[in-house]
């Protein structure tokens, strides 16, 4: 049966047993009388040795990379000095290739079309084939583990998963990056964040989270911006800002521990990111004003070439220079209200700044944005005004401040950025299945 033929499930088989495996020819090495085929399925690889009559058949001689095969053979330990996945190889006595299973050779062969030195655009157009490579697929395996670890960590914290709508009529993070579309006779947007909806769930569901897509019409091409990304968002009721920071640190570190406790995932991470170590706790906590001082002291200028001043947005380049120099995770807190979103709670001790946090990671910069939320009705009404937002479409959000308001807060973590940091990838385009960014919506 299907399960029994998975290469991975054959790990426990004893030498000498005859088995059946199904998979694709990942690598083919032809010698004079012997053909070595590294067979691969989504669970593992197995070296298959074609010798004697089976090596002389037409299908063996003309075998092309990615061709699917059904193979019978006997398992053997690999000879001393040789290596093979699992330390075993299969001595093939019979194999079968359905005519429809054959992959093209020549100019159409996979390794020709997505050669390692192919230009990035070609690789992206052929993402469906690039994914068959070892690196691309191993990042997606890490991604699967990370998502699972977030779910299990939140479950342990008794948090409830909900699924907010993607089609909305409100913005969260400013009008500039909204994808607008015609929704029957009305105007609507693709959601920028599920935060506002998570807030509405607190009274009935308790602390909640979601792992959903968010959409941003980013008009620049950077290595960390996508137009569609996966957003891990959480919202917690009756908490303080410091409790929010502690929770965020706990979740991130627990997820990393879980992932590194899985041997298969840990091995991939070690390979992609050899110097990776679990981050030291507690994370460095740095106020926005301290960051401005740091940037001034280290003569890192704004994008306009001026020294940083209180009130300036810390742009991507400056943020990365600082994070790389400090070279460990940073919780950057207390941003000035005017450069942050309308809903952020002001700091009780200094109302120029908000109870906000960005988590910065070396190599990537910001991977999390979070804050306490304004919970006073009158303050929120004023905040809409300050940000030039028509409060009407937000009636359901505003109502949370009328029916049993509470101090609460939350955050959003960009999964692709988290993975770019964890797997030491230059760009978030390599940490999602099919990246979407300006001028790319295919495949």
The closest alpha carbon to 228, from 10, 432, 27, 375, belongs to: 432
Does the protein bind ligand 4AD through residue 229 (CB under 6 A)? Answer: yes
**Piece in contact with ligand 4AD (CB under 6 A), picked from 33-41, 107-115, 326-334, 411-419:** 411-419
Inter-helix orientation angle 316-326/288-297, to 10°: 80
Q: Classify burial at 219, counting beta carbons within 10 Å of its beta carbon; exposed 0-12, middle 13-18, buried 19 or more.
A: exposed
Query: In this chain, which of 416, 429, 430, 435 binds ligand 4AD, going by CB under 6 A?
Result: 416
Query: In this chain, which of 417, 422, 429, 435 binds ligand 4AD, going by CB under 6 A?
Result: 417
411 binds, among Mg ion, ligand 4AD, none (CB under 5 to 8 A by kind): ligand 4AD
- Please identify, using beta-carbon distances, which residue of 337 and 368 lies nearer to ligand 4AD: 368
The vertex-104 CA angle with 103 and 107, nearest 5°, equals 150
Enumerate residues 343-402 that contact ligand 4AD by CB under 6 A: 366-370
Query: In this chain, which of 110, 226, 251, 268 binds ligand 4AD, going by CB under 6 A?
Result: 226
CB 279 within 8 A of CB 327: no
Does the protein bind ligand 4AD through residue 216 (CB under 6 A)? Answer: yes
216 binds, among ligand 4AD, Mg ion, none (CB under 5 to 8 A by kind): ligand 4AD
370 binds, among Mg ion, ligand 4AD, none (CB under 5 to 8 A by kind): ligand 4AD
233 binds, among Mg ion, ligand 4AD, none (CB under 5 to 8 A by kind): ligand 4AD
Q: How far apart are CA 107 and CA 16, in angstroms?
A: 40
The closest alpha carbon to 245, from 334, 315, 166, 154, belongs to: 334
Nearest distance, CB of residue 358 and Mg ion, angstroms: 6
Strand order in the sheet with 208-215: 160-161, 208-215, 228-237, 408-414, 365-372, 356-361, 330-333, 284-287
- Please identify, using beta-carbon distances, which residue of 369 and 435 lies nearer to Mg ion: 369
The vertex-431 CA angle with 372 and 47, nearest 5°, equals 145
54 binds, among Mg ion, ligand 4AD, none (CB under 5 to 8 A by kind): none
How many residues make contact with Mg ion (CB under 5 A)? Answer: 1
Query: In this chain, which of 44, 329, 336, 414 binds ligand 4AD, going by CB under 6 A?
Result: 414
How many residues make contact with ligand 4AD (CB under 6 A)? Answer: 24
- Please identify, using beta-carbon distances, which residue of 73 and 410 lies nearer to ligand 4AD: 410
CA distances from 407 to 240, 297, 403 (A): 7, 36, 13
- Please identify, using beta-carbon distances, which residue of 369 and 410 lies nearer to Mg ion: 369
Nearest distance, CB of residue 225 and ligand 4AD, angstroms: 4
The closest alpha carbon to 24, from 38, 6, 35, belongs to: 38
Does the protein bind ligand 4AD through residue 342 (CB under 6 A)? Answer: no
Q: How far apart are CA 428 and CA 430, in angstroms?
A: 5
Does the protein bind ligand 4AD through residue 411 (CB under 6 A)? Answer: yes
Nearest distance, CB of residue 417 and ligand 4AD, angstroms: 4
Does the protein bind ligand 4AD through residue 218 (CB under 6 A)? Answer: yes
- Please identify, using beta-carbon distances, which residue of 142 and 413 lies nearer to ligand 4AD: 413
SS3 of 239-254: the string is CCHHHHHHHHHHHHHH
Nearest distance, CB of residue 242 and ligand 4AD, angstroms: 17
Query: In this chain, which of 369, 409, 410, 435 binds Mg ion, going by CB under 5 A?
Result: 369
Does the protein bind ligand 4AD through residue 231 (CB under 6 A)? Answer: yes
60 binds, among ligand 4AD, Mg ion, none (CB under 5 to 8 A by kind): none
**Piece in contact with ligand 4AD (CB under 6 A), picked from 31-39, 61-69, 225-233, 275-283:** 225-233
Does the protein bind ligand 4AD through residue 23 (CB under 6 A)? Answer: no
Query: In this chain, which of 7, 21, 172, 201 binds ligand 4AD, going by CB under 6 A?
Result: 172
Site of interaction with Mg ion (CB under 5 A)? 369
């Amino acid at each position: 049966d299907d399960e029994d033929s998975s290469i991975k499930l054959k790990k426990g088989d004893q030498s000498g047993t005859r088995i059946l495996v199904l998979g694709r020819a990942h690598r083919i090495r032809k010698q004079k009388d012997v053909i070595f085929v590294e067979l691969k399925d989504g669970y593992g690889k197995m070296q298959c040795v074609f010798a004697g009559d089976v090596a002389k058949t037409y299908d063996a001689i003309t075998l092309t990379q990615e061709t699917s095969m059904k193979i019978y053979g006997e398992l053997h330990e690999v000879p001393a000095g040789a290596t093979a996945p699992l330390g075993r190889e299969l001595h093939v006595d019979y194999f079968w290739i359905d005519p429809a299973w054959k992959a093209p050779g020549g100019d159409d062969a996979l390794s020709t079309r997505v050669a390692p030195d192919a230009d990035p655009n070609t690789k992206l157009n052929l993402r469906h084939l690039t994914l068959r490579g070892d690196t691309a697929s191993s990042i997606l395996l890490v991604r699967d583990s990370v998502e699972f670890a977030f779910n299990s960590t939140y479950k342990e914290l008794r948090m409830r998963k909900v699924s907010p709508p993607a089609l909305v009529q409100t913005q969260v993070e400013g009008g500039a990056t909204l994808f607008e579309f015609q929704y029957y006779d009305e105007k609507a947007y693709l959601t920028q964040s599920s935060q506002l909806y998570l807030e509405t769930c607190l009274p009935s569901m308790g602390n909640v989270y979601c792992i959903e897509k968010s959409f941003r019409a980013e008009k620049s091409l950077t290595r960390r911006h996508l137009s569609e990304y996966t957003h891990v968002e959480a919202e917690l009721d009756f908490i303080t800002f410091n409790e929010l920071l502690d929770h965020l640190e706990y979740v991130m570190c627990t997820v990393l521990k879980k992932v590194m406790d899985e041997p298969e995932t840990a091995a991939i991470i070690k390979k992609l990111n050899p110097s990776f170590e679990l981050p030291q706790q507690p994370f460095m906590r740095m106020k926005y004003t301290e960051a401005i001082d740091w940037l001034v002291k280290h003569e890192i200028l704004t994008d306009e070439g001026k020294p940083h001043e209180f009130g300036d947005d810390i742009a991507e380049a400056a943020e990365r220079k600082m994070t790389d120099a400090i070279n460990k995770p940073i919780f950057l807190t207390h941003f000035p209200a005017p450069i942050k979103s309308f809903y952020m709670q002001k700091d009780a001790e200094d109302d120029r700044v908000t109870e906000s946090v960005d988590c910065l990671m070396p190599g990537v910069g910001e991977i999390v944005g979070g804050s306490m939320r304004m919970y006073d009705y009158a303050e929120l009404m004023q905040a809409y005004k300050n940000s030039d937002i028509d409060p009407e479409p937000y009636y359901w959000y505003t109502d949370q401040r009328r029916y049993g308001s509470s101090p609460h807060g939350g955050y959003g973590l960009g999964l692709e950025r988290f993975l770019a940091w964890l797997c030491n990838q230059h760009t978030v385009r390599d940490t999602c299945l099919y990246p979407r960014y300006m001028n790319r919506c295919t495949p």
